[in-house]
Amino acid sequence: MRLKGRVHKFGDDVNTDEIIPAKYLVTTDPKELAKHCLEGRSKDFAKKVKPGDIVVAGRNFGCGSSREHAPLAIKGCGVSCVIASSFARIFFRNCINMGLPILESEKAAKEAKQNDNWKIDLSKGEIKNITKKRVYKVQPFPKFLKRIISSGGLMSYISSKEGKERRKRKAT
C-alpha cells in the first residue's frame, strides 16, 4: 500500500487525553470524534488536516488511556498513517487491530518538519521525505502482526481464522 501526504509534526508523549479529551467520549462516531482530534496539542489540527495527511510524532505517542476513540478520531480525520519514534503499547495494539497504518522510525520522525511532503510504501517499509529528498527504511512488522494487518484488522483476522477452523472441524 502506498500513501502520500503532508506532515503534521508533534512532540513526545502525546497522550490520549490530548488526542481526544474524555468529554467527547460519549460517541463512537469517527466523524464526530474527528472534529476534536488532537485538540489538546493543536487547536486547529482538525481544521487544517486533509485526507491522506501523515501524523509524525516523537516518543511514546498515544500514551495514557486505552480508548480506541483516539486512533478512531485520527482515522476519522482522513490521516493515512502515523509515524513516531515509539508508540505506547495499547495505542499500538489498537492501530494494528483496527487497521490504521503506523510505523516506528526515530530518524524519520526526528528529521520531519511541519508541512513536509512524504510518500510511504507500507509493503516495502519505506518512508520518503520528498521535501528533504531523504529515504528511511523501517523495520518490517513481525509475521504475526502482518497477518492481522493483511486481514484488515483483528476482527476480520479472527473471523477468517474461526471460519477456517470451523471448516476444518466439519471436514474431520
Kindly list the residues in this chain that would bind another protein in the complex (CB under 8 A).
13, 15, 17-18, 21-23, 25-28, 40, 59-60, 63-69, 72, 86, 88-90, 93-94, 97-98, 142, 144-145, 148, 153-155, 158-159, 162
The C-alpha cell 485526507 sits at: 51
Q: How far is the CB of 169 from another protein (least distance, A)?
A: 14
Residue 22 carries which DSSP code?
Answer: G
Amino acid at 75: K
At its nearest, how many Å lie between another protein and the CB of residue 159? 6
Task: Dump the DSSP string for 54-90.
Answer: EEEE-SSBTBS---THHHHHHHHTT--EEEES-B-HH
Contact 23, 71 (CB under 8 A): no
By beta-carbon proximity to another protein, the closer residue of 104 and 121 is: 104
- The residue (of 50 and 89) whose beta carbon lies closer to another protein is 89
| CB of residue 71 to another protein, shortest distance in Å | 8
Alpha carbons 83 and 61: distance in angstroms, whole number:
9
CB of 4 to another protein, least distance (A): 27
Q: Could you tell me if 15 and 64 are in contact, meaning their C-beta atoms sit under 8 angstroms apart?
A: yes
Q: Which is nearer to another protein, 24 or 128 (CB)?
A: 24
Nearer to another protein, 52 or 153 (CB): 153
CA torsion through residues 121, 124, 129, 132, sign:
negative
Tell the smallest beta-carbon distance from residue 67 to another protein (Å): 6
Which residues partner with 135 through β-bridges?
128
| Nearer CB in complex with another protein: 8/93 | 93
